[in-house]
Amino acid sequence: LSLGVMASGSGSNFEAIARAIKEGNLNGAVKLVIYNNPDAGVKQRAMNHGVPHRLLNHRDYASREALDQDIVEHFRQAGVEWVIMAGWMRIVTPVLLDAFSRRVLNIHPSLLPSFRGVRAVEQALAAGVKVSGCTVHYAEATVDSGPIVAQAVVPILPHDTGETLHQRIQVQEHRLFPLAIALAAQPSP
Ligand code: GRF
């Protein structure tokens, strides 16, 4: 599997994917990491794993479509087949989604379809639900929607803050994402 990863932040999900590959639990390779914030932690993680990485700063583009077009070109050049949105905090457009039709996966820190959009962890806390979790799904033009590939559930504990709950969810994200990629991308024998 030739993967292209898109990330905006620390890149712990990229790290989990890279480790799963190294440990033989996911059959594939990350061909390119694209990140959009100059100080995103994912850059250092990509360097540590010897994975090619490229900053495409959204501020340098006139539109979302122009950024997505450049992403498509970079991924094509790198031989990417599957696009993995691992904490990509920008809205993606049909320019990307159509170029990699049904081959774009996203991870979201809630049990979709509950709590779409930003601050999903805080939304769950505010709603008073007793469980939340994470979802890997095929990306569509509407944010945080599309067919669900896998979910993991975590409890919400009495004294949780956004931070403690997000940490508990991330443990599950790191386990779930490599599994979900294999499930979505590798045809069962
Ligand atoms: C994850 O919690 C993911 O669900 C959300 O952004 C976070 C990215 O974390 N969309 P990281 O950069 O992979 O550490």
pLDDT band at 23 (very low <50, low <70, confident <90, very high): very high
pLDDT at 170 over 70: yes
Confirm whether pTM is higher than 0.90.
yes
9 lines ligand 1 (CB under 6 A): yes
Enclosing domain of residue 34: 2-185
Q: Has 108 been annotated as catalytic?
A: yes
Query: Is position 91 annotated in a ligand binding site?
Result: yes
Determine the residue of 170, 175, 177 to mutate for testing ligand 1's pocket, defined as the one with the most ligand atoms within 8 A of the Cβ atom: 170
Tell me which residue has tokens 């993991």. Answer: 152
Q: How many CB atoms lie within 10 A of CB 72?
A: 19
CATH code at position 141: 3.40.50.170
pLDDT value, residue 188:
61
173 lines ligand 1 (CB under 6 A): yes
Q: How far lies 70's CA from each of 4, 43, 65, 148, 177, in Å?
A: 13, 18, 9, 27, 25
pLDDT at 12 over 80: yes
Chain segment 41-64, per-residue pLDDT in tens: 999 999 999 999 999 999 999 999
DSSP state of 102: T
pLDDT at 110 over 80: yes
ipTM: 0.95
Chain segment 134-161, per-residue pLDDT in tens: 999 999 999 999 999 999 999 999 999 9
pLDDT value, residue 184:
96
7 lines ligand 1 (CB under 6 A): yes
11 lines ligand 1 (CB under 6 A): yes
Tell me which residue has tokens 């990491």. Answer: 33
How much is the average pLDDT of 169-175? 98
How many distinct structural domains can be found in the chain? 1
Ligand 1 geometric centre to CA of 13 (Å) = 6
pLDDT value, residue 144:
94
How much is the average pLDDT of 74-101? 98
Q: How far is CA 131 from the centre of its chain?
A: 21
pLDDT at 186 over 90: no
SS3 52: coil
Determine the residue of 5, 12, 111 to mutate for testing ligand 1's pocket, defined as the one with the most ligand atoms within 8 A of the Cβ atom: 12
